[in-house]
Structure 1
């Protein structure tokens, strides 16, 4: 039988509520952070830890929000953009991936897309990840990144054009692969 402490009804939210929230949201936050960082798993873990620590400090108030998970995504995106603005970072990203290889058939496509994402500016990368990976609307993305809706549409258009230019013919060959299988 589970001997872990439980939360009584009527008590204000506390650390146990936060632990449940963090366990449930960490995988999604990590996937988003992984894309934002252009495939740097270690930096993605650091960003998730930073976002969760920022939320923990204010958890009593944040747990009452209608959508704390959406707020966590916003905190993550802002932590990423804040990190990119700081010039004091001395870590160097390498082209080697020490993680285990992906076993599905799309690993080459994933690596190609991550490489192209890595070449975009952090703001453009954040817009694409929030719009297309997180499936957020223009208005939600604008609110999360503190931009106007027009700026989000403009950045999305430019970033997609840059992705198409970066991927060029290599992406067309991936698009044809499923037809050959």
Structure 2
């Protein structure tokens, strides 16, 4: 199979999953779409060599997370701006109210901690896998997980308890 055909097949199979991962990281659909587009471009330009080792989903997820983090570093000064347009909200009925509350709280967690939480709890990766995806040490993953969960709990308040873990497991 040619690289173009293999890439197209992989794109068709996992684009929605990568968009959702990027949405969890970014907090809005437009930025998530930009991150995924950049990630797939990097993936395509890398060529078939990474594909030979297998684990394409993990490799692509790693590119998505690293693209998100690089974008956050590049535009650190860029923060939420006030506009006269209402923020984007998922379609009514597609998400529970609890999920919306958790996702809003998650968007307030610092980028590296958010990436760690998404990989650990949404994608159910272990500490070592998360460290490999983020290009950091196991200790960094553990501290980012701890700090991220603490920030999320503070943002959600005591009435939501461990709702993040329930939401991330699809409960």
Asked if Structure 1 and Structure 2 have the same fold, meaning a TM-score greater than 0.5 normalized by the shorter chain, the answer is yes
2:12 is matched with which residue?
23
When normalised by structure 1's length, the TM-score is 0.80
For residue 64 of structure 1, the aligned residue among 52, 72, 78 is 52
2:105 is matched with which residue?
116
For residue 127 of structure 1, the aligned residue among 111, 116, 127 is 116
Q: Which runs of 4+ in 1 moved over 2 A?
A: 87-100
For residue 42 of structure 2, the aligned residue among 47, 54, 71 is 54
CA distance in 2: counterparts of 1:23 and 1:168, whole angstroms:
39
Relative to structure 1, the CA distance from residue 47 to residue 93 in structure 2 (aligned partners, 3 Å threshold; closer, same or farther) is farther
Q: Structure 2 unaligned segments of length 5 or more: list them.
A: 165-171
CA distance in 1: counterparts of 2:81 and 2:129, whole angstroms:
30
2:65 is matched with which residue?
77
Relative to structure 1, the CA distance from residue 98 to residue 164 in structure 2 (aligned partners, 3 Å threshold; closer, same or farther) is closer
Q: CA deviation at 1:153?
A: 0.9
For residue 129 of structure 2, the aligned residue among 118, 121, 140 is 140
Q: How many residues align?
A: 161
For the residue of structure 2 that corresponds to 1:63, the secondary structure is: helix
CA distance in 1: counterparts of 2:90 and 2:154, whole angstroms:
30
* Contact preservation (8 Å) 2:28, 2:88: no
Give RMSD over aligned pairs. Answer: 2.4
Relative to structure 1, the CA distance from residue 151 to residue 100 in structure 2 (aligned partners, 3 Å threshold; closer, same or farther) is closer
Q: CA deviation at 1:62?
A: 2.1
1:14 is matched with which residue?
3
CA distance in 1: counterparts of 2:17 and 2:3, whole angstroms:
22
Which one has the largest radius of gyration? Answer: 1
